[in-house]
Each structure stands twice: as C-alpha cells, then as structure tokens.
Amino acid sequence: MSKWWKNAVGYQIYPRSFMDSNDDGIGDLKGIQEKLPYLKELGIDFIWLNPIYQSPNVDNGYDISDYQAINPEFGTLEDLKELLIAAHKLGIRLIMDLVVNHTSDQHPWFIESKKSKDNPYRDYYLWADATPEKMPNNWQSFFGGSTWTYDANTKQAYFHVFAKEQPDLNWKNPAMREEIYQMIRWWLDFGIDGFRLDAISHIQKEPWDFKITDNPWAPFMNVAGIETYMAELRDIFRSYDIMTVGEASGVNSKTAPFWTNEESGYIDMIFELEHQVRTGEPGFELGDLMGFKKVMSRWQKDMQPMGWNALYTDNHDNPRSNSTFGNETRESATALATAYMLLRGTPFIYQGQELGMTNFPFESIEEVNAADSLAAYHAWLEKGLSPEEALRLTTHWTRDHSRTPMHWTDFGGFSTNLPWMKINPNTDKINVALQQADPFSPFNYYKKLITLRRSFPVFIDGSYHIELAKHPKVWAYTRKLKSEEAYIITNLSDQPQTVTLPNRWVNAPVTILLANYQDPSWGKTTTLRPFEAMVVKKDA
C-alpha cells in the first residue's frame, strides 16, 4: 500500500459552518464542493469531514441514527458522490468520521434493543440490572453525570460514556461487529479515502465492578482486550489504499507506536489530546507554551522509531489557537503554523485557522450552542454565580469558538440567510477575500509553508531534536535527514526574546527558507521579535 498520507496536508471541515449553498443558514456538501478551488489554491491534499450522517444532532452529528444516510441539512448521498468526484479530479482526497463507540438512541438497533431483554438487538448495547435509585456502578460520563440511564420498561440501565442519547455499542457481540464492518466496507467501496476514528479507544470496557482510583475515565479508556477489535479493523483498512487516524485518548506516547507502526499497527496515525495544555484560573486560561512544546516533543521522540504523528493545533473541540496561544495577530497565527507544521507527521489545518481566525466575543448564553457548554453554564448558575460570571466561565474555553461560520468576505460570505451560529464580528478584518489579495497574509504564508514542507524530504522523513528545551517562550528544533539539516525557531510570545543559538546552527552557511517578518536576521545571538518564526536550512 502507498503511504501517500506521509507527504500530505489535511484540512478539517466542520460542514455546518463552512459554506451554505442553499441559503438556509447551514453549511452543506454543495457549499464544500463550491470551495474546492480555494482548498486547491491553499495546497492541501485531503479533507476530513466532520459527521454528515443522519442524526438527531444531540451532539452535533456524533449521535448517528443511520450510518448509510446523509443528514438532509447537508444534502444527499448523490451530493456526496459529486463532491468526492470533484475533489478527486483536483487531486484532493476525502476522509470521513467513523463513529463506532456509540450510536444515537434513535438508531433502529437501539430502538429494538429497548423493547425487551430477549430482543435480538438487546446485546448490541450494554445493559445491566439496576433500579432508579441504584445504578450498576458509580462511573461518570464525559458529559457529566452517571454513565447509566435507567429504562423502566425492562428494569435495566444502559451504558453511555457520552450523552444519554448516545448509547455505547457492545463490541463483545460478534454480530454487532460484523454489521459495523459491513458498513465500513460499504463506505470504502463508495470511494472515500479513509476515516478519522472517533473515540475509538473507548470501545472496550472494564468489568462493571472495576474500582476507580485516580483516573475517572480508566474503566473505558484503552482497556485491555481492545487489541482484538483493533486488529479486526486493521485487517479491513489494510485491504484498501486509505488513511486512518484515530482519536485515541488513553493511548500514550509510549504505546502509540504499537498502534501506528507500518508492520502491525492498527491505524496510520493518532490524534493525541495531551498537548492542549492550559494555564491560569478558570475563565482566564491560556495555552501553556512550556507544556505544549514538552508534550509535542515527547510525542515526536517516542514516535520516531516506528510510529507516525497526526499534527494539529486547532479542531472542532477546542478554542482558536490564535487566541489561546497567540495574541490574535498575523504574526502569532503564522508562528504557530511554523512551529507545528514542520514536525514529523501529517499536519491538519482546521477551517479558518489558515486565516488566523480568533475566538468569538460571546455576550449572551443564547449565542452558545454546544451541549456541554450549556450544561456548564446552568451548573455555574446553580452554584450561585451571576449570569455574567457564569457566561465568562462557560465561554472562555468553549468549543463553540471554533464552530462559528467561515469568513469568506467582509460580510461573512457564508450565507445570505441568518447563519446557525453568529459570525465573528471581525470578519471585516479577517477573511478569505482580503487575505488572498495580501501577499503577507496568514493564508499566503500557509501556502508557502505547505509548499516548503513537501519540497524537502527532511521535513517528511527527518529526525526531530529539540533545542533550547528549557526556554519558556521559544520553541526551536532541528530536522535532520542524512546530510540535510533544517532549523526551525519560533518565538511564541508577544515580547522580544534574545537567544544564543548552537554553534552548528551559525558556523555553517545557511539559507533562510521562510520567515514571517520581512527582514529576518540570523546570528549567534539572535533577537526574535514578538511571534517571529524562521525556517533555516544548512547549505549543502
């Protein structure tokens, strides 16, 4: 099988917020197809689509009621086929979310499962004896509250690690697994180019009498026995020329190489969740740079012998990095891009990140959509906080920051109708139309960065070595492949930083390949301006 994904750059699309083609205020598949030339200009190689399946949308599409149907708000199966053909003509591949830890409670399997204890689909899910007062155990769900919901009809409770409307599938059931595998093959035969496996490390659970000590998620996070199911999935994936990336919390940097190595690994790469490190009091948190670079460096080092990384700073579950790690300027957007996109692995860009889009200035809880954020807001109110304080604590780090509509023009350009979420008011200053015309914009810098990455093998196959490891504001590292050596240095702060560079960086003749200031300087003692980034290559 080809390893095309090693040389590729991905682009994550949150379909509801990318482009609305039919003016109903919701992004759709035809809107994505309309913007394929934009993505081709940016230079990306594949798209990852967040869920577009039939869903009641309790968890924004991650609660699937029909795996082989498209939610009408996004279009039709035919629209998806047209998008796939159009993308492939431009040399752009397309991967989709695979959500198989759970379904929606509106899925036909679960509707049947609830009917009786002897229903053929009962064992497709996880049921246990319970009473309204006493659940099978005290485990807590990711969305707060018990992992169990009582069903008075059958006098049992069903298990869910997310919302009660997202019952977990029983992976111990071979009949259920075979139906999932048939669905996976159906999509791959449809022509898609791979999957992002949602919450995949949760599919195996500990026995219900497992006692939690320090980690509340331990009973359903990379539990022993998951290897059997992952190996079955691997055998399907390897019969197609696709890429797979897993959201695998609980798989650490030491065990990840066994998940992603080319010989026996289950998937091609992993989205690790550790590097989203925060510092500061609740409601005032910022990204923790030292934590960020330490985690990223550890994953680089541990995956180097036989694993592969999936690289990202932004996604649909986190605030905008240009606000949390940057100062919302062109320089911070491009410095962050330089820091992560030249690491060893496959980089992912989240829609709008290439423009330096920023967090949304929430003024009312009515502007919030994410279910977990709304629950947090009401929990703060119940604790006696004022609505203003509850709003600040809720929205400071909400995932809704990344879900506001894409900025195409001064006035948004996303839809001619009222969008499903408000557009950030700074769309007149940060948008595609402006940045395409500005040679020094984040958009055009990303284009150069993508071109640079694929122009030199060192950025794909080279080793990683951190430099100035203890510097609290500067992230510097070396990529090396045989005689080819590149130096990446970024000041990830809003203050000048003076650094003493290693002799081998300055004693040999070098070329500055890319910089986010127009007049970069290079020497033994170098003062980096706020959020200055440079990529330097040793001359042959």
pLDDT, tens digit, for every residue of 409-420?
A: 998 899 999 999
Average pLDDT over residues 57-78: 97
Active site residue 247: yes
Cα separation, 138 vs 213, in Å, equals 12
For residues 7 and 343, the answer to whether their CB atoms sit within 8 Å is no
* 437-to-356, 431, 443, 444, 518 alpha-carbon distances in Å: 15, 10, 10, 9, 17
Residue 12 has phi, psi (to 5 degrees) of -90, 130
Q: What percent of the chain has pLDDT over 90?
A: 92
Can you give the pLDDT at residue 370? 87
The separation between CA 112 and the C-alpha centre of its own chain, rounded to angstroms, equals: 33
How big, in percent rounded to 5, are the helix, strand and coil portions of the chain? 35, 20, 50
Average pLDDT over residues 239-264: 95
For residues 369 and 466, the answer to whether their CB atoms sit within 8 Å is no
Q: What percent of the chain has pLDDT over 70?
A: 100
Angle between helices 226-237 and 174-190 (to 10 degrees): 30
DSSP string covering 284-314: S-EE-HHHHHHHHHHHHHHHTTT--BEE-S-
pLDDT per residue as tens digits for the range 122-165: 999 999 999 999 999 999 999 889 999 999 999 999 999 999 99
Task: Find the Cα–Cα–Cα–Cα dihedral 291, 297, 298, 301, rounded to 10°.
Answer: 180
Q: How many Cα neighbours within 13 Å face the side chain of 331?
A: 17
Cα separation, 540 vs 538, in Å, equals 6
Instruction: Put residue 246 in one of left, alpha, beta given phi > 0 → left and psi -120 to 50 → alpha.
Output: beta
Cα separation, 223 vs 169, in Å, equals 15
- Where helices occur in 43-173 by DSSP H, the ranges are 77-89, 108-113
Cα separation, 397 vs 381, in Å, equals 17
Instruction: Put residue 385 in one of left, alpha, beta given phi > 0 → left and psi -120 to 50 → alpha.
Output: beta
Cα separation, 355 vs 436, in Å, equals 10
Q: How many residues does the chain have?
A: 540
Question: Exposed/middle/buried for 436, CB within 10 Å: 0-12, 13-18, 19+?
Answer: middle
Can you give the pLDDT at residue 277? 83
Question: Exposed/middle/buried for 142, CB within 10 Å: 0-12, 13-18, 19+?
Answer: middle
pLDDT per residue as tens digits for the range 263-315: 999 999 999 988 888 888 888 889 999 999 999 999 999 999 899 999 999 99
Q: Whose structure tokens read 């075979």?
A: 178
Maximum Cα–Cα distance for the chain, whole Å? 77
pLDDT per residue as tens digits for the range 503-516: 989 888 999 999 99
Active site residue 461: no
* pLDDT tier for residue 1 given thresholds of 50, 70 and 90: low
β-pair partners for 97: 196
Q: Residue 158 has which token pair?
A: 């069903």
Q: Residue 252 has which token pair?
A: 């650490």
Catalytic site residue from 28, 73, 198, 372: 198
pLDDT per residue as tens digits for the range 430-466: 999 999 999 999 999 999 999 999 999 999 999 999 9
* 194-to-4, 39, 96, 309 alpha-carbon distances in Å: 12, 19, 7, 16
Average pLDDT over residues 193-201: 98
- DSSP state letter for 247: E
Cα separation, 50 vs 61, in Å, equals 8
By DSSP bridging, strand 310-311 and strand 346-350 are parallel
Q: How many Cα neighbours within 13 Å face the side chain of 124?
A: 26
Can you give the pLDDT at residue 284? 87
Catalytic site residue from 105, 247, 272, 314: 247
> CA angle, 466 as apex, 465 and 470 as ends, to 5°?
155
Which residues are CB-neighbours of 525 under 8 A, at least 6 positions away?
A: 498, 499, 500, 501
Cα separation, 443 vs 408, in Å, equals 12
Average pLDDT over residues 521-534: 96
Average pLDDT over residues 518-524: 94
By DSSP bridging, strand 93-99 and strand 66-70 are unpaired
Q: Residue 497: enclosing H or E segment and its boundaries?
A: strand 497-500
Can you give the pLDDT at residue 50? 98
Cα separation, 201 vs 336, in Å, equals 29
Cα separation, 191 vs 194, in Å, equals 9
Q: Whose structure tokens read 């049921």?
A: 127
pLDDT per residue as tens digits for the range 322-351: 999 999 999 999 999 999 999 999 999 999
* pLDDT tier for residue 471 given thresholds of 50, 70 and 90: very high
Cα separation, 205 vs 200, in Å, equals 12
Cα separation, 368 vs 305, in Å, equals 44
Output the average pLDDT for the chain. Answer: 96
Cα separation, 487 vs 476, in Å, equals 7
